[in-house]
């Protein structure tokens, strides 16, 4: 039988079959995985082959993971060679952000896009809790919308309190498998509860934005939507580090810079100090975003520092 993993808690994997039946499955023995090594060998969204465990039709064993169409991994903040599988086989990622409560971390959106870009996973950026926006926040929203839509990401404003943007969001989610992600406290679970009443996801009742970072959602879980499609709620992301990457990985996954790079003088231009760099020229002329470039430089310097220390280790 073939099913899809909808939730993983410890060594139990909930697998949904085509007819909607949910079976708790374990992994015994070794699974053959073609893709990458991750701390969790399978994750939500993985298609798996299962067998019943004896006569008990509510328990199963995962015998095979089917090839993935795509996947989203993040680097462990503590151990740079540990990759954690966030979700597999998604049609799109919904990045939920807010401008206040909690404040949007500088560069967070661009760091997130570096996770989805290697597989060209479409991203919709939500600026949530827009019921709290004053003129100032609406102005920032307008700026971000222009900036990201220019490079092909949709940007919408939403609020579970006022209902704004929810119809548009529904039309985006309809008939697709979407991973919802973002910082803790931005309202991901509340949004899903509002879109699909009755789901009853735990949300943070006491608003606490002190930055202590308690996470209300602690594991990823996939739910069917009445409008068609599936939605994956995920735990809040505290920070995204990328020092496991090589400089060219970063250069290739800022999509508009990659596009410009064919006009750079040097084929492997990292858009730093190289002469004849088309990216730097575009930033200076205002046709590429200086903010994106600033975040690019930040990530690039983290990656290069890391490579420097690796080379000089043991000297």
In the complex, which residues of this chain contact Zn ion (CB under 5 A)?
264, 269, 271, 277, 279
Note whether 235 binds ligand GTP by CB under 6 A: yes
* Pair of tokens at residue 215: 């996470």
Closest alpha carbon to 276 in 290, 289, 287, 261: 261
CB of 94 within 8 A of CB of 168?
no
Residue 128 near which of ligand GTP, Mg ion, Zn ion, none (CB within 5-8 Å, type-dependent): ligand GTP
Q: Which of 97, 217, 253, 289 binds Mg ion (CB under 5 A)?
A: 217
Residue 243 near which of Zn ion, ligand GTP, Mg ion, none (CB within 5-8 Å, type-dependent): none
| CB-neighbour burial class of residue 118 (10 A; exposed 0-12, middle 13-18, buried 19+) | middle
Q: Cα–Cα distance between 60 and 51 in angstroms, integer?
A: 5
Note whether 92 binds Mg ion by CB under 5 A: no
Chain-centre distance for alpha carbon 91: 12
Q: In angstroms, how far is the first alpha carbon of the chain from the final one?
A: 54
Q: Based on CB atoms, which residue is closest to Zn ion, 209 or 258? A: 258
Angle at which helix 166-173 crosses helix 188-195, to 10 degrees, equals 80
Nearest residue relative to ligand GTP (C-beta):
236
Q: Which of 38, 75, 116, 190 binds ligand GTP (CB under 6 A)?
A: 190
Residue 292 near which of Zn ion, ligand GTP, Mg ion, none (CB within 5-8 Å, type-dependent): none
Note whether 289 binds ligand GTP by CB under 6 A: no
Name the minimum Å distance from CB 277 to Zn ion. 3
* SS3 assignment, position 42: coil
| Of 7-15, 36-44, 128-136, 282-290: span binding ligand GTP (CB under 6 A) | 128-136
Return the H-helix or E-strand segment holding 311: helix 290-312
Closest alpha carbon to 183 in 83, 85, 96: 96
Name the minimum Å distance from CB 205 to ligand GTP. 6
Residue 157 near which of Zn ion, ligand GTP, Mg ion, none (CB within 5-8 Å, type-dependent): none
* SS3 assignment, position 41: coil
Q: Which residues bind Mg ion (CB under 5 A)?
A: 188-189, 216-217
Q: Which residues bind ligand GTP (CB under 6 A)?
A: 128-129, 131-132, 159-161, 184-190, 203-204, 207, 215-217, 235-236
């Amino acid at each position: 039988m073939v099913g899809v993993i909808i939730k993983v808690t410890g060594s139990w994997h909930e697998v949904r079959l085509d007819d909607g039946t949910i079976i708790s499955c374990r992994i015994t023995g070794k699974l053959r995985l073609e893709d990458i090594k991750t701390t969790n060998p399978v994750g939500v969204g993985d298609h798996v082959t299962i067998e019943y465990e004896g006569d008990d039709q509510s328990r199963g064993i995962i015998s095979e993971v089917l090839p993935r169409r795509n996947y989203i991994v993040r680097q462990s903040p503590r151990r740079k060679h540990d990759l954690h599988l966030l979700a597999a086989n998604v049609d799109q990622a919904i990045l939920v952000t807010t401008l206040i409560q909690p404040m949007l971390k500088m560069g967070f959106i661009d760091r997130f896009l570096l996770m989805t870009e290697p597989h060209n996973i479409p991203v919709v950026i939500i600026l949530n809790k827009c019921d709290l926006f004053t003129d100032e926040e609406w102005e920032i929203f307008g700026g971000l919308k222009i900036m990201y839509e220019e490079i092909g990401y949709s940007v919408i404003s939403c609020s579970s309190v006022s209902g704004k943007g929810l119809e548009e969001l529904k039309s985006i989610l309809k008939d697709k498998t979407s991973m919802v992600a973002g910082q803790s406290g931005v309202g991901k679970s509340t949004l899903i509860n509002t879109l699909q009443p009755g789901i009853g996801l735990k949300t943070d009742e006491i608003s606490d934005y002190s930055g202590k970072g308690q996470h209300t959602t602690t594991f990823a879980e996939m739910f069917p939507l009445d409008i068609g499609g599936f939605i994956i709620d995920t735990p809040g992301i505290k920070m995204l580090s990328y020092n496991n990457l090589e400089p060219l990985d970063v250069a290739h996954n800022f999509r508009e810079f990659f596009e410009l790079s064919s006009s750079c003088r040097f084929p492997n231009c990292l858009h730093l100090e190289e002469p004849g760099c088309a990216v730097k020229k575009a930033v200076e002329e205002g046709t590429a975003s200086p903010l994106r470039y600033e975040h690019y430089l930040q990530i690039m310097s983290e990656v290069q520092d890391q490579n420097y220390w690796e080379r000089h280790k043991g000297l």
